[in-house]
Amino acid sequence: MREEKKKGKKIKEKLRARYTQRVSSTSLFFWVLGAISGVCLLMVLLFGVSQWFVLKNTVQQQMSQDLSVRGQTIKERLLPGLPPQFADEEEHARHLSATYGVNVTVLDGEGRVLYSSALEADSFVSDVAKIKAELGEGTEVDRDFSVYQQGNDGVYVCRLEDAQTGANAYLYVTKDVSYMGIVLGEMSIRILFSALFVFVLAFVVAAIVSGFITKPIDEMKDKAKLLARGDFSVNFHGKDYGREMAELAESLNFARDELSKTDGMQKELIANVSHDFKTPLTMIKAYASMIVEISGEDKKKREKHATVIIEEADRLTSLVGDLLDLSKLQSGIAALSKEEFDLSAYTRQAVEKFGYLQETHGYQFIVDIDDGAIVSADKGKIGQVLHNLIGNAVNYTGDDKKVYISLKRGETSAYFSVRDTGKGISKEALNDIWDRYYRSKETHKRPIQGTGLGLSIVRRVLEMHNLKFGVESDLGKGSVFYVDFPCVSEG
Ligand code: ADP
């Protein structure tokens, strides 16, 4: 026993754990907020980084264009040889350096300084390999000039030919471009601040949007909880929050109405069923007491009283039977067991069962049944359908006490209908009569005891068979209930 209890407890705990795992503890507000701010952050980052690269490229291009124009001009001014106004090449170089805001150096083929506007001789020797590589010397891409960056300097190099000796020489022009780093740094800070500002703005907007989205959902959730606890006065509002929310609110209001209707009908059914149980039980008790106290010795009276007891017991049995049938049908326990049978003969049998009412209550059954309608269906359940529909017609027909039953054969189907001449069914009630708990409020003297479950059994059985069925009613004139049975082709 103890072990079983322990096992049960373990299973319960497992189930609880599984359920709690499935429910996310993060509020929808934070999901939406996180998602929107995340996307904004990503966009701001992408934008910032791409802007930074564009800026860097532009500044570099600018520098390289500017330096190549200056280098080219200096080269053109150097090539014709030393102008007479300068004492030597070095003075000429210094003049060019001052004019174009650059350092001008000319190197021989080995990288030694021939003359320079700067003063550090020999310092370029080691650079000659780099210069040659930049110009692509000895390779297929032999360039006239090249511009590149080295440390804080932008460098322009090109080949010069010594006019007298024909030997190789290089023009080496440099310009301080450390301003580029400063500009880029400055711009990076600006981009970073703008990104931060945009992100904060996006976060605030995201918080407002998330609030806007989750507020009606929160409200609906709270109201749905109330509804689940049985408060049918709740009203779902959603029309101020867009079409989807309006539709959701509408559906929830519809569900509330349906639930409240079902709840009301359920209560009514319990009241009805209790009443229906109570009446025969009271009768049984009363007649049993009468047998004990009065009619015990009198055989005739005793039999009469015992018959009442038997009839009341039958009523109870049929009530319990209906309840059981419906719950089986609705829970899906009752499966169909189809067979081929003659519906014409079966309908006649069903009508005959009501034959006693002709003599006891003066009912007339006007029957028009075509022969040979063979169908494939669950015979027992179809019998129940015929019984309930004919029984209702008997209960609700008019004072003429006429009930019309017909089965008409078409080419492929047989059309069953049962018509009464009663008060008919109002348009509003037409849909509800098929519901499990619906029962007319009218206290109506019926020869056959009803439970309010008959038509829901009919509906469930016919739906299981996929049959077309329905009701047409004319207020004051009566109703026709019909079912269309597909026939099995003979031969
Ligand atoms: P019950 O007849 O026991 O009340 P049913 O499920 O058979 O339960 O019928 C549900 C309701 O449908 C009835 O209470 C009645 O209001 C209405 N109804 C059924 N058949 C007829 C009919 N032939 N004429 C008028 N009303 C009908």
Phi, psi of 419 (to 5 degrees): -120, 140
Contacts of residue 157, defined as CB under 8 A and 6 or more positions apart, other chains included, come to 71, 131, 134, 135, 145, 146, 170, 171, 172, 173
Mean per-residue pLDDT for 77-92? Answer: 88
Model confidence at 253: pLDDT above 80: yes
Q: How confident is the model at residue 126 (pLDDT cuts 50, 70, 90)?
A: low
Residue 65: per-residue pLDDT: 93
**pLDDT confidence bin for 408, thresholds 50/70/90:** very high
If one counts every other C-beta atom within 10 angstroms of the C-beta of residue 354, the result is 20
Q: Taking a C-beta distance cutoff of 8 angstroms, is the pair 159, 170 a contact?
A: yes
Atom of ligand 1 nearest to the CA of 424: 25
The pLDDT-based confidence of 97 (bands split at 50, 70, 90) is very high
Across 258-281, average pLDDT = 76
φ/ψ of 415, rounded to 5, equals: -105, 110
Closest atom, ligand 1, to C-alpha of 423: 25
Q: Which amino acid is at 94?
A: R
Question: 79-177 sits in which CATH class?
Answer: alpha beta
Tokens 């310009």 correspond to 175
Q: State the pLDDT confidence band at 491, using cuts at 50, 70 and 90.
A: very low
* Superfamily classification of domain 335-486: Histidine kinase-like ATPase, C-terminal domain (3.30.565.10)
331 against 458, higher pLDDT: 458
User: Ligand 1, residues 445, 455, 479: which to mutate, most atoms within 8 A of Cβ?
Assistant: 455
d(CA 327, CA 10): 32
Give the pLDDT confidence of 26-63 residue by residue, as tens digits. Answer: 777 888 888 888 888 888 889 888 988 898 898 889 88
Tokens 């469930």 locate to: 460
Question: For the chain, what is the radius of gyration of the CA atoms?
Answer: 51
**Model confidence at 20: pLDDT above 60:** no
For the chain, the structural domain boundaries read: 79-177, 239-310, 335-486
Residue with token string 């007649």: 287
Write the residue with the smallest CA distance to atom 3 of ligand 1.
450
**How does pLDDT run across 193-238, given as a tens digit for each residue?**
888 898 898 889 888 888 888 888 888 889 999 998 888 899 998 8
> What is the distance between the alpha carbons of residues 415 and 420, in angstroms, rounded to a whole number?
17
**Start-to-end CA span in the chain (Å):** 64
C-alpha 392 to ligand 1 mean position (Å):
6
CA of 433 to the centre of ligand 1 (A): 6
pLDDT at 242: 82
In SS3 terms, 32-95 reads as: HHHHHHHHHHHHHHHHHHHHHHHHHHHHHHHHHHHHHHHHHHHHHHHCCCCCCCCCCHHHHHHH
Instruction: Read off the pTM.
Output: 0.49
- From CA 10, how far away is CA 6, in angstroms rounded? 6
Q: Considering only residues 298 and 332, tell me which one the structure prediction assigns the higher pLDDT.
A: 298
pLDDT at 125 over 60: no
- At 182 the pLDDT is 86
CB distance 63 to 154 below 8 Å = yes
300 has pLDDT over 80: yes
Question: What's the pLDDT at 164?
Answer: 66
Q: At what angle do helices 454-465 and 299-331 cross, to 10 degrees?
A: 40
- Find the 454 Cα to ligand 1 centroid distance in Å: 8
Indicate whether 180 pLDDT > 90. no
Q: How confident is the model at residue 25 (pLDDT cuts 50, 70, 90)?
A: low
